[in-house]
Amino acid sequence: MRCFVINLDRETGRLAWMTTAFRRMGLGFERFSAIDKTALDDDIINRLVLRNHHNWSPGEVACFMSHIAVWRRIAEGSDRHAVVLEDDVYFSRDAADFLSDDAWIPAGVDLIKLETTLNPVLVGRRGGKIKTHRLLPLYSFHNGAAAYAISRRLAAQLVTQASRIDRPVDDFLFDMTRHETPCWQLSPAISIQEMFLPDQAITLPSDLEPERLATPRLPRPKVRLTRSEKAIREIRRLLWRILHFPRRAIIPMGAQDRQSGRLAEQMLG
């Protein structure tokens, strides 16, 4: 199964980190040269972005464009599934079992979140067992787009749907209230971004996260509902909960080698 790593040309330390991580797993990957925010001018951003409730930073636009370009490459390929990774992830000890091929992915499954951000999410109570992991239906937004498996069919579909960008890439992929494609969560996860690791010194700093925090957000437009519309909404919510019977959970990260953090410090320190 092809694994794409999105990496800026100037981020040589991150590339070295991912190269070492994949070498330790005995796997290869394909580097995708990420679109740099410095290459975007206001005209490009205005053509691509729908300015609704989200006040975009150039880094967010460049990040989304990079994912779209990878989806296009996957859609043009022959593999049934591929994995998309950002370049600051840590892997579990058994990650290679899930990155080497897609034999473990059930037919009809198009999108699997392979990472965790250790934030509470809604997942199904039952799911398929895969070795020591479970594949659970994801019923709520799970932030982050640093590690996911995607089918060739869905990649082609998303390229078309993302002709105009109206929200960040993780929102676009993993907000289950806003699109119809079922998404699945691997639990325990096999990857996590460094910034979500508890008690971990940051050795792979992100230039996107500070930019996000510094960019003021526009207020979301409020939708005024009539009394009957509110009643219908609540009935739908109740029926949905009865049908799916979700549970609130924090997706754990799979066991890691203790030397991973020390290795990153040595490489980038």
Q: Does position 135 have pLDDT exceeding 80, yes or no?
A: yes
Q: What is the pLDDT of residues 204-223, one digit of tens each?
A: 656 655 555 555 554 544 55
- Burial per residue of 194-227, b for 16 or more beta-carbon CB atoms within 10 angstroms, e otherwise: bebbeebeebbebebeeeeeeeeeeeeeeeeeee
For the chain, give the mean pLDDT: 83
31 half-sphere exposure, CB direction, 13 A CA radius: 14
What are the pLDDT digits (tens) for 64-118? 999 999 999 999 999 999 999 999 999 999 999 999 999 999 999 999 999 999 9
Task: Say whether pLDDT at 158 is over 50.
Answer: yes
What's the Cα-to-Cα distance from 194 to each of 14, 47, 204, 205, rounded to whole Å? 11, 33, 7, 9
Write the pLDDT tens digit of every residue in 32-67. Answer: 999 998 877 666 666 666 555 556 778 888 899 999
pLDDT one-digit tens code per residue, 164-210: 777 788 988 887 656 678 899 999 999 999 888 877 655 665 665 55
Between 262 and 225, whose confidence is greater? 225
If pLDDT is split at 50, 70 and 90, which confidence band does 240 have? low
Q: Could you tell me the two tokens for 207?
A: 């230039």
User: Kind and range of the H or E element at 151?
Assistant: strand 147-151
User: 246 phi and psi, to 5 degrees?
Assistant: -75, 165
Query: What residue segments make up the domains of the chain, in order of their start?
Result: 2-268
Q: Could you tell me if 7 and 85 are in contact, meaning their C-beta atoms sit under 8 angstroms apart?
A: no
pLDDT digits (tens, 9 = 90+) for 229-238: 778 867 766 6
Which pLDDT band, with edges at 50, 70 and 90, does 261 fall under? very low
Could you identify the residue written with the tokens 């940051």? 202
**Protein fold of 2-268:** Spore Coat Polysaccharide Biosynthesis Protein SpsA; Chain A (3.90.550)
pLDDT of residue 266: 40
Comparing 75 with 128, the larger pLDDT belongs to 75
pTM: 0.83
User: Residue 268 corresponds to which tokens in the numbers above?
Assistant: 């980038």
CA distances in angstroms from 73 to 119, 162, 173, listed in the order given: 31, 15, 17
Quick one: pLDDT at residue 189?
98
